[in-house]
Amino acid sequence: MISQQDENYRFPKIAESRMRAAKKTKTPAYLYGVTGIGKTSLIQQLFVHRRYRYHKSVELIGEETSVHIPKDEKTYIVVVDDLQEITDPEERRCLTEIFRTFLEQGNVWLILISRAPVPGWLMDTYIRYSFVTIGEEDFYFTREQQDAYLEEKLTTLSGAEKEKMWECTQGVPIAVRLLVLYRGEIEVTREDLLNYLESHVYDQWDLELEEFLMEISIAEQFTKELAEMITGSSRVDTLLARAAELGNFFAQSGRDGVWQYRWQMLLSMRRRLQKKYCREKIRQLYHHAGLYYELHDQIPMALSMYERYGDTESISRILVANVRKNPATGHYYELKAHYLKLPEEVILESPVLIAGMSMLQSILMNEEESERWYRELEAYAKTHGGSERREAKSRLLYLDIGLPHRGSVNLAEILKHAGTLLRERGNCLPEFSVTSNLPSMMNGGKDFCEWSRHDRELAVSIGKPVEFVLGKYGKGLVPLALAESFLEKGLDSYEVMSLAQKGKLAAESGGKIEQGFVAAGLLCWLSILEGNAEYAMEQMEAFRGRAQREAPNLLKNLEAFVCRVSLYLNDYVLAETWMKEAPDELAEFATMERFRYLTKVRVYLQQGKYERACALAEQLLHYAEKMQRTYIRMESRLLLSSALYGLHREKWREVLQQCISEAESYHFVRLLSREGPLTERMLREGEFAFQDAGFEEQVRRECSRMAGYYPRYLEPGSSGEIQLPENARNILRLQAEGFSAREIAEKLGFSLANVKYHISENYRKLGVKSQAAAVNEARKRNIL
């Protein structure tokens, strides 16, 4: 075959470059991608005026087809297209033998074309003969190439028009060609692209595969388990394997157990579904998907599925079930739009929904609206009897204890009263969390700073009633609360550790993992305050494994805690990575994200982004004032003063004095000394009033010690540098000298697990996967 020059053809840069490189050495090539991206066109234009043999795969297998290539000095180009059509095992074996014959002959340059990545049956040949791969993305236009091509074909285009056209095509060649054909009409182009896919791809599938791919298109991403739930098929593995052989339909194919359609496929499959299935059958598919998400506690996703086809019964069931949970485990904030658009008459029929609305409005910092719903619940309890009245009474008790905006005033008396109600009247308190998924008792679901003033007395007087009222959430609460109070006051570290371990064991003996998170956090802070942030990281990493298995709802705040520890270790790479997942305070301020916001302020300080740190600290301060969060008010003032100090604004002194005065009233030494280097620097540059000389001396002493341990803590301008702690550097140095992990452990007196942890962390920070690469990278960066 000899190709003709196409004047309108534009070579895809990456694909052309790889093919020309393969041409020089006659390296066999494997080209793949969905129909219409230009695989065959590339070959035709690359070999203009040059002969080559072109075969469809099925032609090579025919009994009468001659595949003989002369054994002479001449180089023969053999192109074999449509490999995806070969499904019979015997035909695949036959074709493999033909390919190997070509390749062994020495004077054949073999080029294979398929719609799918290299199939398993060809993999051995592919590896043995070192094929070069030219994948689907290699055929795409870059944004610059597409803009230039469209300018040439459609005359002058505005920036907005180019942006819309890029959104339509994403650089896919067939879409670009259709766009030119239809003179830039985007909707017509999109419609014709879908028609093209239907006529050239889907009509060739068997019915089972077609139905499977249509049905799972209701989910943009899916797992095998979700696919089974939606389709009811027990052959998901087989069908996915078949789809992989027929074409490159998925942008993500099984990575981390997830599949994701390419956008063209997703649109066309959904359109095909609408054409082929009746409304009721489609509704059932969405219902099955909703059930899957509901069972896996992915409530927002479940609701989106139910809403697609107006499944009001399931929506109502979810909303009621969700507000039966406490805000730490429920999805109050994520579902606020659903709750806020419920008709008031619907809410007033359910004491659970009324209580949920009161809690939601408090979370949203709408105190008056929260109290209005509380009064509605009181009215409901007065006008109903039996189980409905008991439910309303229990919910009122729950709100008395848990409404965020009410703070902890009179809470001791409420809890004592609650114990009496539960014992004598058979009331049942709904699930209540003290921690709200934070690593704190004193500053978790509510602020208990006032209780810290009388911590020992309260532990004796109301410890037992509190544990009784809160049930599993009360296990370990008293020793953990005491441990945290003592830690903040800078009391004996051994007593803090002992109480934390006691609380940890109690939580593990029939309590909740949330208390375990508090214990892990307290033990980590003890390590940090003793200058051993590395061990704190090890402890939190160990707890992470348990949280992943038992309480994924803890992971967001756990990752934030790990980020805080990384700042002491000057691991700013980890901090920058965490920031990509951090909540965006510019979009909206979500009160349940407060711990992550406080972490984010610290990263802003380290990055030298003082204006952003100021803005977020001010938001946190407003929240703290409005919701009676004493500790967060002090913490926010400390961070705000540091940001103002960085901006050289005199107000930093006033803000820091406010923080000092309030912290001193509670004797909270550690609130100030945790930020040691920051606090010490500001204390040196200003005169501040302390009422208690002992408190001032302890704060200054601890800040100085922390500055010695972590001299570069939150130091701006260090972002991007890789800092290895001394122990980690010593281990890497011994690795460079050829010592094994076991030998290093013996030499340094560390446990083998500790050495392996440091090695793993060194690899992560250096961005490598082996000892040799780590040593190499460390030498490049002058770490060794």
The pLDDT assigned to 223 comes to 94
Give DSSP secondary structure letters for 706-719.
HHHH-TTTT-TT-T
The pLDDT assigned to 38 comes to 86
Grade residue 113 by pLDDT with cuts at 50, 70 and 90.
very high
Look at residue 300 and tell me whether its pLDDT is greater than 80: yes
Residue range 564-581: average pLDDT?
91
407-411, 604-608, 749-753: range with highest mean pLDDT = 604-608
Grade residue 65 by pLDDT with cuts at 50, 70 and 90.
low
Grade residue 674 by pLDDT with cuts at 50, 70 and 90.
very high
Token readout for 235 is 């052959």
Sheet harboring 250-255: ordered strands across? 221-222, 258-261, 250-255
Look at residue 359 and tell me whether its pLDDT is greater than 50: yes
- Alpha carbons 384 and 380: distance in angstroms, whole number: 6
- Is residue 673 within 8 A of residue 642, CB to CB? The reply is no
Look at residue 201 and tell me whether its pLDDT is greater than 80: no
What are the start-end ranges of the E strands in 139-255? 221-222, 250-255
Written as one letter, the residue type at 138 is D
How many CA atoms lie less than 13 Å away from 771 in the CB half-sphere? Answer: 12
With residue 107 as reference, give the H or E element that holds it. none
- Is residue 695 within 8 A of residue 669, CB to CB? The reply is yes
The pLDDT assigned to 418 comes to 57
The pLDDT assigned to 255 comes to 80
Tens digits of residue pLDDT in 144-156: 888 888 888 887 7
The pLDDT assigned to 284 comes to 94
The pLDDT assigned to 693 comes to 95
Give the ranges where 569-649 is alpha helix by DSSP (H). Answer: 572-579, 594-606, 610-626, 630-646
Look at residue 684 and tell me whether its pLDDT is greater than 60: yes
Look at residue 544 and tell me whether its pLDDT is greater than 70: yes
Tens digits of residue pLDDT in 213-226: 999 999 989 999 99
Tens digits of residue pLDDT in 595-633: 999 999 999 999 999 999 999 999 999 999 999 999 999
Mean of pLDDT over the chain: 88
- Alpha carbons 240 and 224: distance in angstroms, whole number: 9
In this prediction, what percent of the chain has a pLDDT beyond 70? 93
- Is residue 516 within 8 A of residue 546, CB to CB? The reply is yes
Tens digits of residue pLDDT in 689-734: 999 999 999 999 999 999 999 998 998 755 445 667 788 888 998 9
- Alpha carbons 359 and 369: distance in angstroms, whole number: 10
Of residues 718 and 686, more confidence is placed in 686
The pLDDT assigned to 64 comes to 47
Of the listed ranges 6-10, 178-182, 500-504, the least confidently predicted one is 6-10
Look at residue 97 and tell me whether its pLDDT is greater than 60: yes
For the CA atoms of 662, 665, 668, 669, what is the dihedral angle to 10 degrees? 90
Vertex 655: Cα angle to 654 and 656 (nearest 5): 95
Give DSSP secondary structure letters for 254-281.
EETTEEEE-HHHHHHHHHHHHHHS-HHH
Of the listed ranges 44-58, 414-428, 505-519, the least confidently predicted one is 414-428
Q: Tokens 């090695």 map to which residue?
A: 759
- Alpha carbons 617 and 656: distance in angstroms, whole number: 13
3-state secondary structure of 116: coil
Residue range 173-191: average pLDDT?
87
- Alpha carbons 512 and 433: distance in angstroms, whole number: 9
C-alpha separations of 363 from 274, 357, 358, 414, 755 in Å: 41, 10, 9, 21, 45
Grade residue 202 by pLDDT with cuts at 50, 70 and 90.
low
Of the listed ranges 73-87, 590-604, 649-663, the least confidently predicted one is 73-87
3-state secondary structure of 222: strand
With residue 114 as reference, give the H or E element that holds it. strand 108-114
- Alpha carbons 173 and 179: distance in angstroms, whole number: 10
3-state secondary structure of 4: coil
CA 346 to chain centroid: 35
Vertex 307: Cα angle to 302 and 313 (nearest 5): 85
How many CA atoms lie less than 13 Å away from 702 in the CB half-sphere? Answer: 23
3-state secondary structure of 49: coil
- Alpha carbons 497 and 218: distance in angstroms, whole number: 52
Q: Tokens 């939150």 map to which residue?
A: 714
Of residues 424 and 495, more confidence is placed in 495
C-alpha separations of 526 from 488, 518, 554 in Å: 11, 13, 21
Written as one letter, the residue type at 328 is A
The pLDDT assigned to 751 comes to 85
What is the CB neighbour count within 10 angstroms for residue 222? 25
The pLDDT assigned to 407 comes to 84
Grade residue 203 by pLDDT with cuts at 50, 70 and 90.
low
The pLDDT assigned to 769 comes to 75
Grade residue 45 by pLDDT with cuts at 50, 70 and 90.
confident
Residue range 64-81: average pLDDT?
80
Token readout for 275 is 């054409």
The pLDDT assigned to 268 comes to 85
CA 751 to chain centroid: 33
3-state secondary structure of 443: strand
The pLDDT assigned to 659 comes to 97
Look at residue 566 and tell me whether its pLDDT is greater than 50: yes
- Alpha carbons 640 and 646: distance in angstroms, whole number: 10
Contacts of 440 (CB under 8 A, 6+ apart): 484, 518, 521
Token readout for 463 is 């410890």
Of residues 473 and 501, more confidence is placed in 501
